[in-house]
Structure 1
Amino acid sequence: MLIMNYSAQQDAKTKYKKAQRPQANITIVLIYEYMTVRLTIEDDKKYSLGVHKMKG
Structure 2
Amino acid sequence: MEKTTMSVQELSAQMGISLPKAYELVKSPGFPTIRIGTRILIPVDAYKEWLLKNSAHR
Give the TM-score range, shorter chain: under 0.3
Structure with higher helix content: 2
TM-score by length of 2: 0.23
TM-score by length of 1: 0.24
- Of structures 1 and 2, the larger Rg is shown by 1
